[in-house]
């Protein structure tokens, strides 16, 4: 907020220089004197007594001049602004906002200045925790300020305030044109994702997230896009996003690799899952244990790669020595016309006490 104080002081000087209503010399000298005193107070170490004196004098002058002619009312507005500057330096954001609200009500104030004060008041209401009031003020300012250099910044503030109030549809409405402009920061991307998801616009959120991904995108951006695709029921897209992130080296942990494999299985690309599993086992990234071998067998079976599926099932059965694994391997081999492998596997299942396998053997 200290930066805001400087803006207020400079704004007052500029307005005085270009005022439509000439001000008396004593008023100009008094305003300039108060601004000089305020500017002399060091940032973070201002004298509270000096600030109070400035605020009280400015308020007194604003009240005294409020009922005068147009020049007096213009001066009254500027005194309200100076009082707001002093109050901000004291940390009293809401009192400062009240001063700016009073300044805007002076009839001689030009619309361009009212808009500047309206935006400043919105910022102060926001800083003071008056979110509902800040939302109303930002809405008013944005409605009248298309093309203003501060438009996008204020629009993002409004979106965040609406999200904090869980007014998701309204937040999404203001968010839509901001997304079209692109160039979002990580923080803005996170906010946009939260808003669109809560507004029930998962597909739109997914569209702009995926289109905005590139080699410079952070890992969390790739995770968000993949997660959103899953929620939208687009498992294939989720797998594709995660695959690209893996290839770019954005997601490199063992758990990331397992997630990639599971996404390929869910997304209709089981052969790619099998390839990742084979590579991970050969590299030693994944252990050649029952869980991994079972996942590998399932992947190649879903891919309907007969040779690799049967080889994986045989490796699993050899590892576990479970009758049901030998039987399932045998049944799969039989279904695919590999009768020799099927018979040998059924025999091993029978030797391990599987009665169902014995019934199947009668077919040979």
Task: Quickly state the pLDDT bin for 173 (edges 50, 70, 90).
Answer: very high
What pLDDT is stored for residue 190 in this prediction?
Answer: 81
Residue 6 has pLDDT above 50, yes or no: no
What pLDDT is stored for residue 4 in this prediction?
Answer: 46
Tokens of 36: 């000089």
Domain ranges of the chain: 1-140
DSSP state of 164: H
Q: Are 41 and 47 in contact (CB under 8 A)?
A: yes
What pLDDT is stored for residue 242 in this prediction?
Answer: 95
Task: Quickly state the pLDDT bin for 213 (edges 50, 70, 90).
Answer: confident
Task: Quickly state the pLDDT bin for 224 (edges 50, 70, 90).
Answer: confident
DSSP state of 69: -
Burial of residue 233 (number of CB atoms within 10 Å: 0-12, 13-18, 19+): exposed
Percent of the chain residues past pLDDT 70, beyond the cut = 93
In the block, tokens 């629009």 appear at: 155
Task: Quickly state the pLDDT bin for 94 (edges 50, 70, 90).
Answer: very high
Task: Quickly state the pLDDT bin for 18 (edges 50, 70, 90).
Answer: very low
345 CB neighbour count, 10 Å cutoff: 27
What pLDDT is stored for residue 22 in this prediction?
Answer: 80
pLDDT in tens, 95-135: 999 999 999 999 888 999 999 999 999 999 999 999 999 99
DSSP state of 351: H
Cα–Cα distance measured from residue 348 to residue 364, given in angstroms and rounded to the nearest whole number:
15
Tokens of 159: 């979106």
Cα–Cα distance measured from residue 23 to residue 319, given in angstroms and rounded to the nearest whole number:
94
Q: Which residue has the higher pLDDT, 114 or 190?
A: 114
Q: For the chain, what is the mean pLDDT? A: 89
Cα–Cα distance measured from residue 236 to residue 254, given in angstroms and rounded to the nearest whole number:
21
Mean pLDDT value across residues 175-187: 85
Q: Helix 306-320 crosses helix 290-302 at what angle (to 10 degrees)?
A: 160
4-22 burial, b at 16+ Cβ within 10 Å, e below that, comes to: bbeebbebbeebbeebeee
Cα–Cα distance measured from residue 361 to residue 256, given in angstroms and rounded to the nearest whole number:
43
Task: Quickly state the pLDDT bin for 356 (edges 50, 70, 90).
Answer: confident
pLDDT in tens, 259-277: 999 999 999 999 999 999 9
* Phi, psi at 106, each rounded to 5°: -70, 125
Q: Determine which of 174-178, 225-229, 260-264 has the lowest per-residue pLDDT on average.
A: 225-229
Cα–Cα distance measured from residue 171 to residue 195, given in angstroms and rounded to the nearest whole number:
7
């Amino acid at each position: 907020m200290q930066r805001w104080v400087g803006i207020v002081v400079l704004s007052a000087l500029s307005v005085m220089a270009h005022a439509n209503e000439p001000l008396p010399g004593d008023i100009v000298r008094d305003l300039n004197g108060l601004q000089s005193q305020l500017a002399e107070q060091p940032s973070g170490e201002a004298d509270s007594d000096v600030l109070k004196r400035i605020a009280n004098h400015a308020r007194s002058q604003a009240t005294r001049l409020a009922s005068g002619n147009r020049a007096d009312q213009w001066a009254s507005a500027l005194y309200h602004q100076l009082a707001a500057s002093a109050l901000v330096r004291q940390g009293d954001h809401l009192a400062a906002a009240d001063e700016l609200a009073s300044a805007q009500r002076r009839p001689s104030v030009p619309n361009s200045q009212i808009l500047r004060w309206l935006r400043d008041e919105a910022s102060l209401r926001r800083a003071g925790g008056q979110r509902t009031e800040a939302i109303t003020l930002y809405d008013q300012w944005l409605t009248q300020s298309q093309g203003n250099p501060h438009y996008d910044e204020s629009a993002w503030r409004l979106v965040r305030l609406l999200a904090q109030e869980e007014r998701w549809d309204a937040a999404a409405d203001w968010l839509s044109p901001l997304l079209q402009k692109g160039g979002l920061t990580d923080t803005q991307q996170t906010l946009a994702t939260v808003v669109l998801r809560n507004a029930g616009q998962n597909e739109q959120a997914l569209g702009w997230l995926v289109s905005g991904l590139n080699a410079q995108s952070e890992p969390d951006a790739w995770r968000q896009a993949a997660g959103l695709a899953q929620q939208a029921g687009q498992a294939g897209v989720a797998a594709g996003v995660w695959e690209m992130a893996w290839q770019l080296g954005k997601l490199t942990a063992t758990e990331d690799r397992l997630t990639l494999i599971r996404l390929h299985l869910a997304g209709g690309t089981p052969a790619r899952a099998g390839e990742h599993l084979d590579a991970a086992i050969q590299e030693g990234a994944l252990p050649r244990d029952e869980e991994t071998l079972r996942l590998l067998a399932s992947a190649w079976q879903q891919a309907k790669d007969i040779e690799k599926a049967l080889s994986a099932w045989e490796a699993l059965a050899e590892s576990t020595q479970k009758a049901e694994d030998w039987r399932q391997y045998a049944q799969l081999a039989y279904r695919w016309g590999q009768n020799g492998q099927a018979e040998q596997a059924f025999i091993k299942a029978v030797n391990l006490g599987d009665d169902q396998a014995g019934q199947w053997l009668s077919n040979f």
